[in-house]
């Protein structure tokens, strides 16, 4: 099932997408809700980010090739993580499918996409074993972990490198029936494939992360966990369009514009 969040007739709603039609749902998938029977064309609504997360988690370094490429880029020795230490991103940076990624005036050339699987939590969860971990997952969406590499290398934190406004496209919807084993992540820059990898080829998988996290923290409905990206990434510039497809989940597409 595909859940979308959208604006139509001046209001914000959740809906269930079937083909090109949206059925409005009152309430939210994370609480009480019911189908209303009201249908709309997908083309008539404005997509919003599919959830505003209470906490926005990100694995960061979670694929081997990316670790080696990122280390080379930052002039450091590659170091593979030894355990699933989760990190964070910030809600201010979230934008929906179709909205522009704004490249800041003072940013450098190494302004790059990262195509990531986003896990959406559906149930309050604590102390889950790896075997139980996926039971708290509501579904999956797609994220673009936009990064400014000079700031990433030079700042004390990743605040502006990763969390400048518009740096976190997420969407287009939440797919509840996808299978981790068969997902493939494909990134296209202006239609050309620039990255392509099996999504589940992670250093620590979704279940390993959730199990480790819930030893110490409670996950809540609507929390999101971005799972990292693989491979090298390339520069984006204003005028470009970046598209991240995860098979069985969806395609997230955003144009890049210059800061006014």
Residues that bind a second copy (CB under 8 A): 52, 54-55, 57, 60-61, 81, 83, 85-88, 90-93, 104, 126, 155-157, 159-160, 163-165, 213, 216-220
Place of tokens 């030893």: 215
- Nearer to a second copy by Cβ, of 117 and 125: the residue is 125
The CB-of-147 to a second copy minimum distance in angstroms stands at 13
- Nearer to a second copy by Cβ, of 55 and 241: the residue is 55
Task: Please spell the DSSP secondary structure of 184-237, one letter per residue.
Answer: EEEEEETTEEEEEEETT--SS-HHHHHHHHHHHS-B-TT-EEE----S---B--
> Which is nearest to 155 in space by CA: 108, 195, 190?
108
The CB-of-102 to a second copy minimum distance in angstroms stands at 10
Task: Please spell the DSSP secondary structure of 57-97, one letter per residue.
Answer: EE--S--HHHHHHHHHHHT------SS---EE--GGGEE-T
The CB-of-162 to a second copy minimum distance in angstroms stands at 10
The CB-of-49 to a second copy minimum distance in angstroms stands at 13
Q: State the DSSP code for 32.
A: S
- Nearer to a second copy by Cβ, of 28 and 186: the residue is 28
- Nearer to a second copy by Cβ, of 163 and 195: the residue is 163
């Amino acid at each position: 099932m595909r859940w979308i969040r959208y604006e139509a007739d001046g209001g914000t709603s959740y809906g269930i997408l079937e083909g090109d039609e949206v059925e409005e749902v009152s309430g939210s998938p994370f609480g009480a809700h019911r189908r209303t029977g009201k249908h709309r064309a997908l083309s008539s609504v404005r997509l919003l980010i599919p959830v505003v997360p209470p906490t926005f988690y990100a694995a960061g370094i979670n694929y081997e090739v990316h670790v080696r490429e990122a280390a080379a880029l930052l002039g450091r020795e590659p170091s593979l993580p030894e355990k699933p230490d989760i990190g964070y991103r910030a809600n201010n940076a979230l934008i929906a499918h179709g909205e522009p990624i704004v490249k800041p005036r003072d940013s450098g050339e190494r302004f790059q996409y990262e195509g990531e699987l986003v896990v959406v939590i559906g149930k309050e969860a604590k102390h889950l074993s790896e075997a139980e971990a996926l039971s708290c997952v509501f579904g999956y969406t797609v994220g673009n972990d936009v990064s400014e590499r000079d700031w990433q290398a030079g700042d004390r934190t990743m605040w502006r490198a990763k969390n400048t406004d518009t740096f976190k496209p997420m969407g287009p919807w939440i797919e509840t029936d996808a299978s981790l084993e068969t997902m493939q992540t494909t990134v296209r820059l202006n239609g050309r494939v620039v990255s392509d990898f099996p999504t589940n080829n992670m250093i620590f998988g979704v279940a390993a992360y959730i199990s480790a996290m819930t030893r110490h923290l409670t996950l809540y409905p609507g929390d999101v966990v971005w799972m990292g990206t693989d491979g090298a990434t390339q520069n984006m510039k204003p005028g470009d369009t970046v598209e991240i497809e995860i098979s069985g989940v969806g395609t997230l597409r955003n144009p890049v514009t210059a800061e006014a």
